[in-house]
Structure 1
Amino acid sequence: MRLVGMLDSPFVRRVAISFELIGLSFDHEAVSVIRTFDAFSQINPVVKAPTLIADDGTTLMESSLILDYGEALVTEERRLLPVTAAERLRCLHLMGLALAACEKTVQIVYELHLRAETERSRPWLDRVTLQLLAAYAGLDKALTSAGEGWALGERFTQADVTVGVAWRFTQDVAADYVRAASFPAVASLAARAEQTPAFRAWPSA
């Protein structure tokens, strides 16, 4: 399999770390949707990262869809999504908040770096920032009970991957909008995740 996209994308990094954790081998191709648009379009005309090229040539996009396929390739004990309904519900709840944080961070980056200063919308930026802070506030509240453990207890799950990747991305590109001291539970879990072998194998930069 081929995973196409830059690791400074939280969605690409999320897939790389997850595949590392569940033991799926793949080739990573660091192609940028912005700096090397034409090269990416030759791989996937939609030019969307991450793009996964499966062994049979099928193209997959969207990190959650790629991860769903990856989980189908491994045995149950290696999967990162819990099996029981209650645990899966909590995991999906945390993942949803973390993915929203990624999305809103991306919107802030695009507004600040892809638009001329005279074309930026302050009301839009304020709204996106409120959404971003709400996502991290929800995560911090949900993770407070985790203490020094992982999101669902002793087992490392997709919730931990997604929260860790989201937090690193936001802190890398939008730290002025999300202060670490305001979300200590998220920051603590993310810091522990960054020290795991899988996260260290696929750094954000």
Structure 2
Amino acid sequence: MELIGMLDSPYVRRVAVAMLTAGVPFVHRPISLFRHIDAFSKINPLLKAPTLVADDGTVLTDSGVILDYLGCVFPNIAALSPSAPPLRLSAARATGLALTTMEKAVQLHYERALRPPEKRHEPWRARVAGQLDAALAALDREAPASGWIAGGNLGLADITVACAFGFVGGMIGDLVEAGRFARLAAFSGRAEALPAFRQAPAEDGVVAPVALPH
């Protein structure tokens, strides 16, 4: 399998860290949606990262779709999500907040990086910033002071939360008062210290290593 996309995307990194954590072998190809448009479009003309090329050549788009498929094929991926309803609910809650954080942070990043100042719409930017702040505040309140969201080992919800917060700090840290989210920062710091996160840092052009099967 091939994972296509740059690790400075929180969505690509989410999939890469999950696969590394679960010991799912894959080849990572850090192809940029902006610098390598022709190369990316030959794999996926939708130009959407992450893209997964399955062993039979099928191309999948969207991190949630990719992880859902991987969970059906690899028990270790499925095990990253709890099966007990109360724990599943907690994990789903955190995942939804984290995916919203990613979406709004990416929107703010692209607004600043790609749209000319004279074409920016301040009421829309303020709305997105408010949504991002609300998501971060909720994650900060609900992040466990120790351990992981569903108890036990690191799970997909934890991976998603940490990847979201890492993107915020790395790409739009100057727009966010990071000191307001100390509990979330400590939680993400615990995750970032783990081998899978260190092997797939949120950096442009880094190639994630091939995972060793568990």
TM-score (norm 2): 0.92
Where do 1:28-67 residues align within 5 Å? 28-67=28-67
Aligned-residue sequence identity (percent) comes to: 45
Alpha-carbon deviation of 1:78? 6.3
Q: What is the distance in 1 between the residues matched to 2:77 and 2:132?
A: 33
| Structure 2, gaps ≥5 residues long | 204-214
Tell me what 1:108 maps to: 108
TM-score (norm 1): 0.95
What letter matches 2:137 in structure 1?
Answer: A
Tell me what 1:188 maps to: 186
| Structure 1, gaps ≥5 residues long | none
CA RMSD between the two structures: 1.2
Q: What is the distance in 2 between the residues matched to 1:78 and 1:129?
A: 33
Q: What is the distance in 1 between the residues matched to 2:77 and 2:138?
A: 29
Secondary structure at the counterpart of residue 49 of structure 1: coil
Alpha-carbon deviation of 1:77? 8.5
Contact 1:18–1:158 (8 Å) recurs in 2: yes
What letter matches 2:150 in structure 1?
Answer: L
What letter matches 2:130 in structure 1?
Answer: L
Tell me what 2:165 maps to: 167
Change over 3 Å in CA distance of 1:40–1:77 after alignment to 2: closer
1:27-57: per-residue Cα shift (whole Å, max 9, x none)? 0011011111111001111111000000011
Q: Say which is worse superposed, 149-158 or 133-142, in terms of deviation.
A: 149-158
Change over 3 Å in CA distance of 1:76–1:52 after alignment to 2: closer
Contact 2:70–2:77 (8 Å) recurs in 1: no
1:120-143: per-residue Cα shift (whole Å, max 9, x none)? 111111110000000011111111
Secondary structure at the counterpart of residue 3 of structure 1: strand
Instruction: Give structure 1 regions of 4+ aligned residues with deviation exceeding 3 angstroms.
Output: none
Matched residue count:
203
Match of 1:203 among 201, 204, 214: 201
